[in-house]
Amino acid sequence: MTANGATSDTFHLSVRAPHRLVLNSNFVQSADATWGYDTEIHYRIEDQFTDVLPSAVPINEQWTSGIITDFSGMDWRRGAAQGATVGASDWYDHIQGETSTHTPTPRGPCSPLCNTAVYHWNGEWYVGSTVIGSGRRVQTNTWQKFTDHSEHTNRVSPAP
């Protein structure tokens, strides 16, 4: 830039933005009297410089597929996608099993975890809005439910 005949040095400006989700720990699995099990998948939200965002932010999940059945005869239900405002340094996706009147019957976590898959579906995570499918897409993954726990599989973050 030139002003009054003087040219300033070139400079660059970087705008920090949500970039990716990073797992904070192994998935937390526990038994639940109503739902069979309770899973917490903990993440932190980092910008493009791998720094954790400095404050709470709105996030949302969006389903990109229907339910894909893994257990023949299953009748488990999937809730609606949700949005929330979370702490950027440690937040978790909270996933539960199903009530005992459904097939297959859910149970508390096995040790080691059981491998009987019930169903799965694909989706995306967005940061910057609680409106489903709005904001900056930071991760794609598959939600996988088993009889005794849930997982995020096929995680891609940052999302292309």
Distance (Å) of CA 56 to CA 14, 45, 53, 87, 88: 21, 10, 8, 4, 5
Please give the Cα distance from 13 to 20 (Å, whole number). Answer: 21
For residue range 65-117, list pLDDT tens digits in order: 999 999 999 999 999 999 999 999 999 999 999 999 999 999 999 999 999 99
Which of 111, 78, 110 has the alpha carbon at shortest distance from 96?
78
Please say if the pLDDT value at position 143 is more than 80.
yes
Task: Please report whether residue 1 resides in a domain.
Answer: no
38 contacts 155 by C-beta, under 8 angstroms: no
Instruction: State the residue range of the domain holding 66.
Output: 13-156
User: What is the rounded average pLDDT for all residues in the chain?
Assistant: 96
Quote the pTM value. 0.91
Q: How many helices (H) and strands (E) does the chain have?
A: 0, 12
Please give the Cα distance from 109 to 144 (Å, whole number). Answer: 14
Residue 11's pLDDT is what? 78
Q: The domain that contains 95 carries what CATH number?
A: 2.60.40
Distance (Å) of CA 95 to CA 5, 9, 34, 50, 103: 63, 53, 13, 27, 17
The number of domains in the chain is: 1
